[in-house]
Structure 1
Amino acid sequence: MTSDAVFVWTWLPGTTDPVVAGRLVASGPSHVFNYGRSYLANPAAISLFTPELPLAPGAHQPLPGLTLPGCLRDGSPDGWGRRVIEHHLKVSENSLSEIDYMLASGSNRLGAIDFQESATQYVPRGSQASLDELVDAAELIQAGKELPPELDAAIAHGTTIGGARPKVLVRGADGVQWIAKLSTSSDFVQSQPNAEAMCLELARRVGIEVPQWRITSSNGRTVLLVRRFDRTPAGHRRHVVSGLTMAGEDEMAARYVSYPRILETLIARKATGAPHPGPLLFRRIAFNMAISNFDDHARNHAAFWDGEHLTLTPAYDLVPTARSGEEGAQAMAYGPHSTDKQSTLRDLVQHHAVYALTRTEALEVVEQTIDTIEAEYDSAADLAEVSRHDRAVMWRRQILNVGTTRGWNA
């Protein structure tokens, strides 16, 4: 595969059929995007993301420091998806071009875009395999083993959701689409899918919007199903951009992205009269600290894009992280300085004004988060079918670690 150009198709708001939006061309290490004339002439057309690709004719270069518009990179496979594609094509790690990864991955990707070889004919690439078959295939890939031919292409076309952990896409008998998240041998608990389900439930009880979820099994293995929030019951696809794209950075510069930087973009692009996003983001940071989620990097935050405005998506990837002792740090700074990462609720409260909160309001959020987790831990764990062993492993280590809660209200 040596493609140097790809056509970008998109689903416009409220529609169920895609239209071609433009063409992405590799130019050395960079990529240039042009909207198509038919798209620009469409009265319903929207910008794919105005800060990067305003709805206007001409060549759109990536923002400084990027080689590819972030809103298009958001739809390309990440670590796990690339690993599956490389296994399928029998090529070495990171050996394909970005466009080749786009064309080798499935069409049911994050948000409302897809990548095609043609500007006139849309040919979806998808998987018809069952959950059991896809889970089996994912485990074989993790073990470095060959897949049966009938599963090889199926799993390659079913891994277009981002992230580094193994996951597959499945559709229920009722047409509802789910992300099936699997365990790995490196997990610090016996079943990370159950632990993540528990944290999703705790987040909901704390007052954070999260996707619908359920625990199921596949050939005796636990699987967490998380309902896709970028798909509507009517079959529409919703445009989504990551926190990394909102910050105008790529993976190589992700360490420079902070919560305040993402918040600036959310404020600048919020609809008139919409609530300030600061308090919502503050509550999510407090919860991430409370469950020791140190993988709260910019790709683990996202917002819906309607062509003009941004709105935070439901929270996702709320996963406790292995830790020892009382020290911990968030993946992104929550204050104005790059060193403002210490995972202590006390320190977070000091930056209340950044999130449009008074100190009293910030303390109330933290108190409510702690009180709810303490009161609801066992109930949420029961619902998520967390084992007694894993509950004991996580309590006061990952969940409400003493280093995180000490002096929070000082």
Structure 2
Amino acid sequence: MLHSVNIRYGEKVIGHIGLSAETNLPVVEYQHQWRENGFPISPSLSFQNPSTPASVYNYLDNLLPEGKARELLAQNLGVSEKNVFAQTLALGQDVSGAFTFSSQKTPNQPTFREIPSKELIRRLEQKEDFGLLHWDDKPRLSVAGVQDKLNVYISPDGQIGFGDGTLSSTHILKFEKANLPHLVLNEFICMRLAKLSGLPTAETQFMRFEQFPALLVKRFDRRYEAKAEKVLRRHVIDGCQALDLPREYKYERNFGDNRDMKHIRDGASLPKLFNFCQASPSPAQNTMQLLQWQLFNLMISNYDSHAKNVSFFWGRNSCDFTPSYDLVNVAMFPQFKQTLAMAVGDEFEPDHIHAYQLADFAASCGLKRQLVVESLRELSAKVLQVINTQNLSEELEQQQLISTEEKDYIAQLIEHIQARTQQLQACADNIADISL
């Protein structure tokens, strides 16, 4: 192995990752003791079978940022965007999950670098030109996704900054691009609605840095331990890592929706994800959470609910669905693609989802129709009850965090979700009688 670095789980070195001396492709090697007592970092990088370079690449590829941030990261490192080994090494102290990748033999002491509000506001004023990737000549964005975001550590007294050494990010700050007004507010309301409807959902807080709205998301794979002055990590894998797919395959139509390529559907799909859930150590629980996640995304018109928006806590003999995240009503933004990331049955057009498509969805995913019917009825009733009994903008108004225009936007968003949920609710009575 060439240029190998440590794979660390807490303070333990459990293996190495590097480049094969023969092929110059990424490889993983686990230490014998970890093979006896630990767990593989993903299903495709198991202890039993030698991992292929493609599987190692897929795992690392899905740890890294996407879109413009990925391009900037590669440019600043002076490497190809496909060089996942170099990029992982640059960000390896704070990537998603419990494992870190570093050439250091022992962890550094905890250090904290505060980000004063004035500095963050100045950076936000320039982010369309310079981005948020680099701070103090060091890359800081280490979570996947294309939305503008920043990994941050929030100290016990509420200061926002960067944690290093035995500290790491505990939260993610998400921002919106200039051409996507209200995106942050949209996501906050959808996440709030999910939590009030009883779905396990990441904790969020709506904030403002002067004119810039932000969504603060508490990481469910991190927990600060005050006595030890360290951030403890829990391992997670996303849907692409679970299915051993590269990030470009997060959409079912992995070559796009154009006429000549839309028949190719080699990417992540709902049947593949349900198969993974059903083969997991907690099949009933994971299947139910995935079903509720999909139905809720249909209710809020989150057409961009792809495989990287699904994650699992992964450990020794355990695999459990994480809280939901990245819930957005995409229909409110014509700038986004208005087709489903993963087909419902055989249908990618959201407006064509009716009882037949939901029955086909049940069949293609190996689900009992009655389970889909009961879940749809129960969840739609909860969503509509929250909409009818809760003022989702009241708390933001009381804190003077939103304007009159933003209050009106929330009302439009809720009205849209209510109408779509009622349409889907009406389909439940007919699903059982459909002949496929």
2:37 counterpart (3, 28, 44) = 44
**Aligned match of 2:409:** 390
TM-score, length basis structure 1? 0.79
**Aligned match of 1:225:** 216
**Aligned pairs for 1:106-185 within 5 A:** 107-118=93-104, 120-122=105-107, 128-130=113-115, 132=117, 133-134=119-120, 136-137=122-123, 139-144=125-130, 152-154=134-136, 156-174=138-156, 177-185=170-178
| 2:113 alignment partner, SS class | coil
* CA apart distance, 1:302: 0.5
| 1:232 alignment partner, SS class | strand
User: Which amino acid is the alignment partner of residue 388 of structure 2?
Assistant: A
* CA apart distance, 1:211: 1.4
Higher helix share: 2
- Cα gap change, 1:315 to 1:135, in 2 (>3 Å): farther
Give the conservation status (yes or no) of the 8 Å contact 1:30–1:67. no
Deviations 1:174-229 (A, max 9, x none): 18821111111121xx3222221111110011221111111222244221101000
| 1:379 alignment partner, SS class | coil
2:64 counterpart (50, 66, 76) = 76
The yes-or-no answer on 1:270 pairing with 2:281 is yes
* CA apart distance, 1:301: 0.5
| 2:94 alignment partner, SS class | coil
Give the conservation status (yes or no) of the 8 Å contact 2:243–2:276. yes
- Cα gap change, 1:152 to 1:340, in 2 (>3 Å): closer
Give the conservation status (yes or no) of the 8 Å contact 2:67–2:145. yes
- Counting aligned pairs with the same residue, the percent is 20
Which deviates the most, 356-365 or 247-256?
Answer: 356-365
Counterpart CA distance in 2 for 1:163 and 1:191 is: 18
1:54 counterpart (43, 46, 49) = 46
Counterpart CA distance in 2 for 1:360 and 1:134 is: 47
**Aligned match of 1:299:** 308
Which deviates the most, 75-84 or 192-201?
Answer: 75-84
Counterpart CA distance in 2 for 1:324 and 1:162 is: 21
Counterpart CA distance in 2 for 1:214 and 1:223 is: 8
**Aligned match of 1:362:** 375
Counterpart CA distance in 1 for 2:71 and 2:122 is: 16
**Aligned pairs for 1:9-20 within 5 A:** 9-11=7-9, 16-20=10-14
Query: Larger relative contact order (C-alpha < 8 A, sep ≥ 6)?
Result: 1
- Cα gap change, 1:52 to 1:402, in 2 (>3 Å): closer
- Cα gap change, 1:22 to 1:86, in 2 (>3 Å): closer
* CA apart distance, 1:364: 1.6
The yes-or-no answer on 1:206 pairing with 2:209 is no
2:27 counterpart (17, 32, 36) = 32
Deviations 1:56-90 (A, max 9, x none): 5x85214xxx363544333333335424524645x
**Aligned match of 1:334:** 344
Deviations 1:15-64 (A, max 9, x none): x4242422232675842222235644xx5322212x311225x85214xx
Counterpart CA distance in 1 for 2:63 and 2:110 is: 14
TM-score, length basis structure 2? 0.75
| 1:22 alignment partner, SS class | strand
Give the conservation status (yes or no) of the 8 Å contact 2:62–2:246. no
**Aligned match of 2:434:** none
User: Which amino acid is the alignment partner of residue 280 of structure 1?
Assistant: Q
| 1:316 alignment partner, SS class | coil
**Aligned match of 2:294:** 285
**Aligned match of 2:160:** none
Deviations 1:2-27 (A, max 9, x none): x974424232xxxx424242223267
What 5-or-longer segments of structure 2 have no aligned partner? 158-168, 226-230, 253-266, 431-436
Counterpart CA distance in 2 for 1:88 and 1:129 is: 23
Give the conservation status (yes or no) of the 8 Å contact 2:384–2:418. no
* CA apart distance, 1:365: 3.0
* CA apart distance, 1:108: 1.7
What 5-or-longer segments of structure 1 have no aligned partner? none
Counterpart CA distance in 2 for 1:52 and 1:23 is: 15
- Cα gap change, 1:389 to 1:154, in 2 (>3 Å): farther
**Aligned match of 1:261:** 272
* CA apart distance, 1:140: 2.3
**Aligned match of 2:179:** 186
Which deviates the most, 343-352 or 164-173?
Answer: 343-352
Counterpart CA distance in 2 for 1:221 and 1:4 is: 45
Counterpart CA distance in 2 for 1:309 and 1:345 is: 35
| 1:60 alignment partner, SS class | coil
The Cα RMSD (Å) is: 3.5
